[in-house]
Amino acid sequence: MAPTQAPTFLWGGRFTEAIDDLMFQFNESLSFDKVLYKADIHGSITWAKALHKLNILNDEELNQVVTGLQQVEKEWEEGKFVIDTKSDEDIHTANERRLGEIIGAAAGKLHTGRSRNEQVGVDMRLWAGEQLDQLAAILKDVLATTAAKAKDHLPVLMPGYTHLQRAQPVRFSHWLLSHATFLIGDLNRLQGVQERTSACPLGVGALAGNPFGIDREFMAKDLGFKSVHPNSLCAVADRDFVVDILQWASLLMAHLSRLSEDLILFSTAEFGFVQVADAYSTGSSLMPQKKNPDSLELIRGKAGRVMGQSTGFLSSLKSLPTSYNKDLQESVEPLIDCIKTVSQCLRITQGVLATLKVYPEKMKAALTDDMLATDVADYLVRKGVPFRQTHHIAGAIVRKGEEAGLPISKLSVKDLKEISPLFEDDIAEVFDFERSVEQRSTLGGTSSSSVLAQIASIEKLLSQQ
């Protein structure tokens, strides 16, 4: 590429020498910020309306600008926009350059009092706001799918785990809803992120504000922002909303990764609790029998990708001096990639859950009597024995069963009475997994009534939103 002459740029008036070709490539952002084309055009249309209110644009010029920008948008949408590789540094210069080709001199008035410093903030916030709305909708779909799956499999019991060791019996639905509860937290946090993203920086200039008395409240309302950014110096440098999104996404991805890890384990032959559908699995190029849950493994891997973007951008942000600096261009790519990654991972998660095959008999077979040791302790608590003593007694029963090579349910009442005289024939009722889960009927528990209440709570949340 031949050296690009400085005067071809919007800022080129002060320069006489050509910019280095490598520097142009290093500096440009159009290769990735072109996804902001619609937001940039809508921001410019609103800006033109505000200039018209100040009589900087007359009626005819406003009509020319709006019509011209609509044509530019159509060219982007139809894939007909031709990028000028010698002058189009970013989406703002590309759109303005093309507008000038379409309508002529009137395009030169559009940038009156406006800086790219504020323009990029507007574009990113508008684009991100729309994307966050879509992520919220997908997240709700995942929650709806999870609740429906839980309702369909209410009778299914499985081992509950702590430290990845069998602990107590729970409903499979309860396990599903444990992950849904994390996602509800993500949905609630997203609302705060959306609120903070929706602050309009348009009208703050390069850093000091607008000299023409531009109506910032009008522009914020016209663009659908919920508030006006209160400080011009801060506004052009403010990428806290990007940090908000990246950090919110990092926690969401941690939750999706944990769900993925459970499903990866549960789909192994060693567990056999579930099977991931063919649509979300791949095979081995060498071993014909293999069915790999690559969808879930990729989600687990992409969690690290998103977390890295959050950490990386914070590192870019931490030592910047006041107001706008070019370092802030590094906020655009991670934001775009993060939102794309999260959107894909949520959609894949929904697909995996919707098509997941569940094996109740495998889960039932994994339940063992020692998982009812706490129920044995509770049996004695109901007879007035302090729990610390019953815990010790139940542990002694487990040990006795191990020594005898028997499950604790097969120990005789006589054997149990040797440990505590309070055991009676009714201890046999304790060794019932269904009874165990049904006793845990408090709010948030694993009984059928508690699980149904959790499902109803999710359904209510989704209907309200």
Would you call 436 a catalytic residue per the annotation? Answer: no
Q: HSE-up of 178 (CA within 13 Å, CB side)?
A: 13
Q: Within 228-293, where are the H helices? A: 232-237, 240-266
**pLDDT tens for each residue of 279-332:** 999 988 888 888 899 999 999 999 999 999 999 999 999 999 999 999 999 999
| DSSP 8-class letter at 8 | G
Average confidence (pLDDT) over 402-427: 94
Which one from 52, 87, 92, 163 is the annotated catalytic residue? 163
CATH code linked to domain 369-431: 1.10.40.30
Between 199 and 28, where is the model more confident? Answer: 199
- CA–CA separation, 385 vs 394, rounded Å? 12
User: pLDDT tier at 3 (50, 70, 90 boundaries)?
Assistant: very low
Whether residue 449 has pLDDT greater than 80? yes
Question: Is a pLDDT exceeding 90 seen at residue 4?
Answer: no
**What is the per-residue pLDDT across 340-393, written as a single tens digit (0 to 9) for each?**
999 999 999 999 999 999 999 999 999 999 999 999 999 999 999 999 999 999
Active site annotation includes 267? no
% of the chain surpassing 70 pLDDT: 96
Contact yes or no for 292/284 (Cβ under 8 A): yes
pLDDT exceeds cutoff 60 at 9 = no
Query: Are the C-beta atoms of residues 146 and 349 closer than 8 Å to each other?
Result: no
Strand-pairing partners, residue 227, are 199
User: Residue 15 has what pLDDT?
Assistant: 56
Q: What is the pTM of this model?
A: 0.92
Mind listing the pLDDT tens digit for each residue in 134-161?
Answer: 999 999 999 999 999 999 999 999 999 9
Average pLDDT of the chain to the nearest whole number: 95
Domain boundaries, the chain: 19-109, 116-365, 369-431
Residue 88 CA to residue 95 CA, distance in Å, equals 9
- Give the pLDDT band of residue 248 (cuts 50, 70, 90): very high
CATH number of 19-109: 1.10.275.10
Decide if pLDDT at 6 tops 50. Answer: no
- pLDDT digits 0-9 by tens, 65-79: 999 999 999 999 999
- Contact residues for 67 (Cβ-Cβ < 8 A; gap 6+): 103
Long-range CB pairs of 4-10, under 8 A, 24+ apart, other chains included: 4/86, 4/87, 8/86, 8/87, 9/87, 9/89, 9/93, 10/93, 10/96, 10/111
CATH architecture of 116-365: Up-down Bundle (1.20)
Nearest to 245 by CA among 343, 329, 323: 343
Q: Which of 430, 427, 443, 355 is nearest to 168 (CA)?
A: 430
Which entry of 31, 227, 284, 449 is annotated as an active-site residue?
Answer: 284
- Residue 91 and residue 41 in contact, taking contact as beta carbons nearer than 8 Å: no
